[in-house]
Structure 1
Amino acid sequence: MTRWCRCLAIAALTVAAVGSALAQDALHYPGVRETDQRVIVDPGEPPWNAIAKIQTNVGGRCTGVLIAPTIVLTAAHCLYNRLTHALLQPVSLHVLLGYQRGAYRWHRLVTRYKIGEGFDGNRPPPQTADWARIELAEAVPKVITPLAITQRPPVSGMEIALTGYNQDRAQLLMADLHCHIGVVTPRPGGTLLLHDCSATRGTSGGPLLIRESDGWVVIGINIAAGDLANVALAAPRVN
């Protein structure tokens, strides 16, 4: 092999290595654990049919949970436009139920919403005000049973589940059914929860669920994904 050929070979290997590293970076999703236990769940069956995919006219994608026939709970930052530094208008929001692989069973428009007092979209997460109560223009069908907010306080070690539309599997509703609350941090305006559920971007607003005698109930909503831990907010009293 000539010196020129050897140089070309080395250059090709270098480009391939850099390309591989960039590809791995592109595929990195914060919050997805090495021991990823997420499973696909059926958005047409309870309790998963109470989980909503929230889309905006500016391309935002989040998750929400139906807590009453016309009320969806989600994260406030899902409704914030970082380009205009302003909250989106209700007309820009679309709530999809039964969403899977580009199709959905029900679409609801939004008439109004309320966000946590003091929420500031320009501040970095986490914020205890990072919640939104969305009011739908029309009630969902009676075949969907909303999920109640529990009266139990979150405690360290509590077994939970987290469900949502993750960016790495955006067309499917995924759930980590075997995870736990770690650190519980009360702060003015709310309580932050570190947890070890596997979830990434797109699950913001997705519910943390616990089992009670009557079935699954909401104990929090996911608000941030990170490599060391994901962060949730104990469910506010918004009904």
Structure 2
Amino acid sequence: MSWRGLILALVACGASAAAMAQDTGLRRLTDREDVLGWEAVGRLELKGQGFCTGTLIAPELVLTAAHCVYGRDGMLRPAEQIIFRAGLRDGVAIAERQALQIAAHPGFDPHRRLDMNNIRHDVALIRLARPIHSHEADAFALHAARDYGQDISVTSYGMGRAEAPSRQRHCNFLGEQDDVMVIDCNVTFGSSGAPVFSQVGGRGRILALVSGGGSYNGRKVAFGMKLPERVAELKAQLRRNPVAPPGPRIKRIRVGNGSSSAGGAKFVRPEG
């Protein structure tokens, strides 16, 4: 495989930081039963400026592509502009959380087009204002072993299939160089940040994220990156720059004053 040819093809197609589509077996997860086990994959809403796909890797951490957390001006989006909707299906999410803190890998340059270096570092972590616990959505682990196995899949949202996740049960690993992977998974605009799973040993583990795509020898391909080292660096970045979650909003009921609307007691109730 000519890696120079692959990158030139990527640029020639004018691919932005989202991947291009191809027609292979992709199934919409329509019913609640279909979504079971995949609730940790969700749609990342970008305040009217499109969406990406994100995945829980801890109750309070969402993994996505770095280019998703930058605005068109190349500046990091304010956290309050990002909402994660876990397991979103036809307008109903398993859980919905506001972003609190964002860490984009410093090796990613939002002012440059995709190249090998940007794809390699196209990773971001979003810390949520409140965790999503395992009884709602069970977070996925990263794949750290050298053996990727034969069963690679992708679960994503995308243009034309934005209202429910779609899953391709099998796609092909085509090659790897300098921590950049090429796969032929079926992805499109909005699939940026989608998890590519390896099925080695039990439940799927996240092998890579969809970064960008293009065509090579008439074949549509998608690009991803190795994750463990990048994610460890992002977790350290979050720890170095902690942001306190918002405190509970307090509602007080005053002692009764004779009116029928007073509760006659005083208590506090967390909301949200």
1:159, 1:181 within 8 Å by CA — same for their partners in 2? no
Question: 1:226 maps to what in 2?
Answer: 214
Residues 1:203 and 1:30: Cα distance change in structure 2 (over 3 Å): closer
Question: 2:202 maps to what in 1?
Answer: 214
Residues 1:210 and 1:73: Cα distance change in structure 2 (over 3 Å): same
Report how many aligned residue pairs link the two structures.
Answer: 204
Structure 1 residue 89: Cα displacement: 0.9
Residue aligned with 1:48, SS = coil
Residues 1:43 and 1:223: Cα distance change in structure 2 (over 3 Å): farther
Q: What is the alpha-carbon distance in structure 2 between the residues aligned to residue 207 and residue 64 of structure 1?
A: 7
Report the TM-score when normalising by structure 1.
0.79
Q: What is the alpha-carbon distance in structure 1 between the residues aligned to residue 164 and residue 114 of structure 2?
A: 26
Deviation sequence 1:86-124 (CA, Å, 0-9, x none): 110111110001211223231101111211122111111
User: Which one has a larger percent strand, Structure 1 or Structure 2?
Assistant: 1
2:22 equivalent to 1:33 = yes
The 5 Å alignment of 1:193-204 reads 193-204=181-192
Residue aligned with 1:54, SS = strand
Give 5+ residue unaligned stretches, structure 2: 1-17, 236-272
Structure 1 residue 222: Cα displacement: 0.5
Question: 1:92 maps to what in 2?
Answer: 81
Question: 1:65 maps to what in 2?
Answer: 55
Structure 1 residue 158: Cα displacement: 4.2
Question: 2:247 maps to what in 1?
Answer: none
Question: 2:250 maps to what in 1?
Answer: none
Structure 1 residue 43: Cα displacement: 8.0
2:154, 2:185 within 8 Å by CA — same for their partners in 1? yes
Q: Which amino acid aligns with 2:101?
A: R
The 5 Å alignment of 1:1-20 reads none
Deviation sequence 1:204-225 (CA, Å, 0-9, x none): 1110001132311111110113
Residue aligned with 2:211, SS = strand
Question: 1:150 maps to what in 2?
Answer: 143
* CA-based RMSD: 2.0
Identical residues among aligned pairs (%): 25
2:21, 2:186 within 8 Å by CA — same for their partners in 1? yes
Structure 1 residue 32: Cα displacement: 2.3
Report the TM-score when normalising by structure 2.
0.70
Moved over 3 A (4+): 42-46
Structure 1 residue 159: Cα displacement: 3.0
Q: What is the alpha-carbon distance in structure 2 between the residues aligned to residue 163 and residue 216 of structure 1?
A: 11
Q: What is the alpha-carbon distance in structure 1 between the residues aligned to residue 207 and residue 19 of structure 2?
A: 23
2:157, 2:166 within 8 Å by CA — same for their partners in 1? yes
2:19, 2:211 within 8 Å by CA — same for their partners in 1? no
Q: What is the alpha-carbon distance in structure 2 between the residues aligned to residue 108 and residue 166 of structure 1?
A: 20
2:142, 2:205 within 8 Å by CA — same for their partners in 1? yes
Q: Which amino acid aligns with 1:183?
A: G
